[in-house]
Structure 1
Amino acid sequence: MVRGKTQMRRIENATSRQVTFSKRRNGLLKKAFELSVLCDAEVALIIFSPRGKLYEFASSSMQETIERYRKHTKDTPAAAKSAEENVQNLKQEAAILMKKIDILEEAKRKFLGEGIGSYSLEDLQQIEQQLEKSVITVRARKSQVFKEQIEQLKEKEKALVAENAILSNKCGMVRNLATSKTNNKDKDHQRRENHQAHQHYAESSSPSSDVETELFIGLPETRTRQQIN
């Protein structure tokens, strides 16, 4: 479907106009700086925002550049014609850029489903195909991000398992040391008990002072009488 050429016009939406101004202003200041550095040119740029805020760039001195410009225009009247031609060229470039902006804004509205009531079936199919391609690209990127996150989690899991194994070994060594100390204490206690039991047995097995040790010769009756006497 052939569409007519879009002429450059003022952006009606205030937010879009401010965003476009900021982007173009930064781009223009950057180009002025690059021109002064790459080509060793004396560049002076003055911009006033819609609200009257001043933005400027000068490769040397802004005042000296302005004075040089005034002197140059006075000495060479032909420079005014050249400047006018430059202005026309800049206007043409600006018109081309504005056209590109309009195309981008229209594409954005298409993808958002705005203002498509007058579109033909072919146009709607093209928009649908483009959206499907975009969805496929987004899903592929999402899957890739998921895989990367899974790999990172696996690496963290390996690190935690290794750290857990080290801590388990340390805990085992501590438990073994404690068990060894406990066993040694039990053995010492058992040895002491055995020693005490042996002493007690030795004392209980010694001869008592009440035990009769005299030797009698003769019949039991005679021994009884002798004990009575």
Structure 2
Amino acid sequence: MTRQRIEIKKIANTAARQVTFSKRRRGLFKKAHELSTLCDAEIALIVFSATGKLFKYSSTSMRQVIERRRLQSERIDGLEGAPSVELQLESATHSVLSKEIAEKTQELRQLRGEDLHGLNLDQLKQLEKLVQGGLSQISETKDERFLKEISTLEKKN
């Protein structure tokens, strides 16, 4: 005679339900004991019956296991609230790059002759030298291109 598969649903007969609860509770506790013995695991198992009676099993001290669970939960909650190391690094990099972009944008405005009111006399002189150096390079490049264009036109004629 083989075992039959039963449908998992609430057992209607109260007496049959109590017998099944007792048998399965013993089986559950036995499996918990086997797991703790075979795998050296700390196990705490708490079961309340339908009547409210408490049944418990613990491979070590029930208080130790519950306290360990509480500490683990707090540690995980603390990690979820804190940003990851990668996120902190990305945030720091983003902050540095944002500052650099703001500085370069300000420099570009000043090279265009905008936003000069915050500069002192030395800074204005330095900016003037930069602009003059850039202007002379632009003039040299423009002159070279004119000469190349003239020589190209002369070769065609």
State the structure with bigger RCO (CA 8 A, min sep 6), 1 or 2: 1
TM-score (norm 2): 0.46
TM-score (norm 1): 0.32
Q: Give the number of the structure whose alpha-carbon radius of gyration is greater.
A: 1
